[in-house]
Amino acid sequence: ALNQNLAELSGDINVSFEFFPPATESMEQTLWNSIERLSKLKPSFVSVTYGANSGTRDRTHSIIKDIKERTGLVAAPHLTCVDATRDELRAIAKDYWDNGIRNIVALRGDLPPGAGKPEMYANDLVALLKEVADFDISVAAYPEVHPEAKSAQADLLHLKRKIDAGANRAITQFFFDVESYLRFRDRCAAIGIEAEIVPGILPVSNYKNLLKFAGFTNVKIPQWLHQRFEGIADDDQMTRNMVGASIAIDMARVLSREGVKDFHFYTLNRSELTYAICHTLGVRPKA
110 is a contact residue toward ligand FAD (CB under 6 A): yes
Q: Helix or strand or coil: residue 30?
A: helix
Please identify, using beta-carbon distances, which residue of 1 and 190 lies nearer to ligand FAD: 190
Measured between alpha carbons, how far is 144 from 181 in angstroms, rounded to an integer?
A: 8
Please give the residues from 140 up to 199 whose contact with ligand FAD meets the rule CB under 6 A: 140, 146, 148-149, 154-155, 158, 162, 171, 173
Please give the residues from 32 up to 61 whose contact with ligand FAD meets the rule CB under 6 A: 49-52
270 is a contact residue toward ligand FAD (CB under 6 A): no
Please identify, using beta-carbon distances, which residue of 154 and 232 lies nearer to ligand FAD: 154
Q: Which amino acid is at 203?
A: P
User: Is 28 in the active site?
Assistant: no
Q: Nearest 5°: phi and psi at 121?
A: -110, 175
In the complex, what is the shortest distance from the CB of residue 231 to ligand FAD, in angstroms, rounded to a whole number? 31
Please identify, using beta-carbon distances, which residue of 109 and 166 lies nearer to ligand FAD: 109
CA separation (Å) from 75 to 16, 116, 244? 10, 33, 27
Q: Are strands 169-174 and 103-107 parallel, antiparallel or unpaired?
A: unpaired
In the complex, what is the shortest distance from the CB of residue 278 to ligand FAD, in angstroms, rounded to a whole number? 18
* b/e map 165-180, b = 16+ CB within 10 Å: bbbebbbbbbbbbbeb
Q: Which residue, 70, 17, 69, is CA-closest to 43?
A: 17
Measured between alpha carbons, how far is 95 from 34 in angstroms, rounded to an integer?
A: 27
Size of the residue set binding ligand FAD (CB under 6 A):
25
Q: Which parts of this chain interact with ligand FAD (CB under 6 A)?
A: 49-52, 78, 80, 105, 107-110, 121-123, 140, 146, 148-149, 154-155, 158, 162, 171, 173, 200
